[in-house]
Structure 1
Amino acid sequence: MQAIQELGVGEALVSFLDDNGTPGITQRVWVCAPGSQIGPIAPAERQAIQNASVLKGVYDKAIDRVSAYEVLQQRGSSAIAADNGAPQPGKPAAPGAAEQEGPDFTDILMSKAKDIFLGSTGPRGGHREGIVEKVVRQSGEKILRGILGSLLGGKK
């Protein structure tokens, strides 16, 4: 507490973690002021700093890797193309693909309504409870509580 009150300009209290991740003893240290300037540096100064850097040449070449976003976009467009019967990039069109129609709107609507009322199973096997299931479960719980409460002498 006393060391905090005695800190001068350019001083700080610092503690580092050891190999096990536990903090070490707090020590008083000097902090160097940052070397900065107002405004951009000249191109010659920039080149001198880059040439003196230990990272010279490491980041000179730009690498444009395929991102996860791009992979997912490709999968999505392939899935949409497969659903619509359109030929996927790199695959020939199936014979008669232009004659096939997409799913009917009423089929989609009925499927969604069934999922809402009766529940559905998610992509990883989890069950989503539907409205009918929820009402039946809640009613059953109330009836069971009432019966057990009357038998066991619950709150009056």
Structure 2
Amino acid sequence: MAVGETTVTMVGTVASDLIRRTTKGHDVVSFWLRSTERRRDKETGTWVDGRQLSVRVTCWRKLAESVLTSLGKGDPVIVTGRMYTGEDETGEPRSIPELEASAAGPNLNLCTATLRRTRKARAVERPEFLAWRPMPRPVPRPPANSPVSAAETRSAA
């Protein structure tokens, strides 16, 4: 994370199809995320849509693969990452906000999901870490000047 970087968490809906590409040998998935404000109309007492914010989300590497297999257009999502505005081909700043995701997933307040973990192979280069176990805690002994008698100490052991 860089100093002055704008990190945000955005709750919304996948508003486009997911687009997969390869950039510099890395998988990249991008999509549009739309967050719609919901507010209660005082006159009718019903919930209505308010303002909307749309951002382009970009996911890299492993996150790109997981997003591609887990999410689709119309899914409610929560995305966290670095927000910025990019530049066009001429180097001029764009006014479209972009979100480089560090984490993304379904919004479980609006849907359910079945978790399927991807397992990594166990590292065997350093087997001493695999065999490591915490040492047992020592049994506390009463201080030498405590009122506990020597007989009680022997019977407890």
Smaller-chain TM-score bracket = under 0.3
Higher-RCO chain (CA-CA 8 Å, sequence separation at least 6): 2
Length-normalised TM-score, structure 2: 0.22
Instruction: Compare the two structures and name the one with the higher strand fraction.
Output: 2
Which structure has the larger Rg over C-alpha atoms? 1
Instruction: Compare the two structures and name the one with the higher helix fraction.
Output: 1
